[in-house]
Amino acid sequence: MLQKTSSLLLRASTARSYATVSSTVIPPAVANTLSKAKSAAINLAYGAGASSAAGPRDTSIPATLHLKTGQSFTGTSFGSTEGKFGETVFSTSITSYTESMTDPSYSSQLLVFTTPMIGNYGVPKNTQPRGAATGPQMSLESGRIECRGVIVSDLAEKYSHYQARESLHEWCKRHNVPGITGVDTRAITNILRNYGTTLGQIAVGENHATAPAQEAYWDPAKENLIAQASTKHVYTLNDNPHDPHQVKIALLDFGAKANIMRSLVARGASVTVLPWDTPLDSSLMSSFDGLFLSNGPGDPKHGLPAARNVAALMDSQWWCNRPIFGICMGNQILGLAAGMETYRMPYGNRGHNQPVLALASSGVIKKGRMYVTSQNHQYAVKLEEFPQGWEPFFINANDSSVEGIKSTTDSGKKVWGVQFHPESAGGPLDTIAMFDSFLDECKASKMILSGGSGAGGMPAALKRRPRMADASAA
């Protein structure tokens, strides 16, 4: 189809050039027909930007964002006309609003985009991409909009992208998510930076200007958002029972982004997704070559049952120090499992431009290098004296918060956690190869364990320095 579209564009453009040079080359009627063909080809290739059957947005409906700190911002409504309470946060990401809005880590939050215009390339059909039959069943990060509301400076009323199927307004309306446009998002962001993340309400319609009572604001931090976001059933992606060499990964789901599973599946791994509080006993885990801890929303203290399960797994002899990798919430759960403390940051880090400094070398990561990362979190591991066997892996170059932890070489363990998202979606791919390093370690452990190194305890060969940590000696 793209080849046909390109051909139409080329022919229409050529015809227009001839018609401009001399009206006698192509009659006006033919030139007009070709011009219409060119417009049709452009719409086919890039999206017509027309409204769907839902119709255009009613720009006369007012909406107000009320903050618990006392400020209110009034604009016009888009999406759902149902008001919502939530935790008001901001993201500095410039692109990928569809990926951000479907990230389960934004569950319960009213999302303020600092980028002025949002919605200009519409929303794609959220179905499985071609050629990805063994991966997640969606093209975005989950099957629905996860944030409770959206606040933007300028909503694009028309969109243009060859994959777009609906506008941001139509998408939000279909998922019952309210939005506000026409407000000063710079002022809102300054408030959130000065006062910290605050509770808020998007009020729509007749009584939009009436601020709720202080006790009416809903605090999602008091709820176990991990349990709400996690899968309720075990399922497996990309399993190939005919390949004895395939790496099999167990993934604890705290609210996992789909691109984490895609990144593992794309590298040939079989991924079994488990509910967040699944007991990690030998009857289940002995068949896996590694453990992955996903991202997720809310306070990591609600995930203490999972942290205790992970701690028991790391200390068990039968696990044989197989590799463990955690991202975002997974990093915080690893910290709690290791005996570290977590804390709530003033306004968190959300965006695609967070610089982190590597404090140790491991696999593709080189000590002393700066990496630009995608992030979305409100909590972090405390920067204090680390327990024996653990060390900081990354530190944030802006606020000096802990951006990663890892087991030390002497501990014999193979455990890494990062606060950022190597898989991005959206954002930079500076650290995407960490997935390769993790799976390389899983393959190495699998090879050793299947080679008859002993089943009564940790094989002697696994007591050597882990390969991902060997680089720190370089």
Q: Which residues are catalytic?
A: 328, 421, 423
Contact status, residue 267 vs residue 74, Cβ threshold 8 Å: no
Question: Does 426 sit behind a cis peptide bond, omega within 30 degrees of 0 on the bond before it?
Answer: yes
Contact status, residue 152 vs residue 110, Cβ threshold 8 Å: no
The amino acid present at 329, given as its one-letter code, is M
The alpha carbon of 223 is separated from its chain's Cα centroid by a whole number of angstroms, namely 21
CA distance 312 to 306: 10
Structure tokens at 51: 């409204």
DSSP, res 455: S
Closest to 140 in 3D by CA, of 111, 100, 108: 100
DSSP H/E element including 404: strand 402-407
Closest to 29 in 3D by CA, of 15, 13, 42: 15
Structure tokens at 151: 């606040």
Number of residues that this document lists for the chain: 474
CA distance 65 to 119: 19
Terminal CA-CA length for the chain:
51
DSSP 91-160: E--SS-HHHHHT-GGGTTEEEEE-SSEE-TT-EE--SPPTT-TTS-S-SSSSSS--SSEEE-SEE-SS--
DSSP H/E element including 194: helix 185-195
Calculated CA dihedral for residues 235, 241, 246, 252, nearest 10 degrees:
20
Structure tokens at 405: 């932890």
The amino acid present at 460, given as its one-letter code, is A
Structure tokens at 327: 């991202």
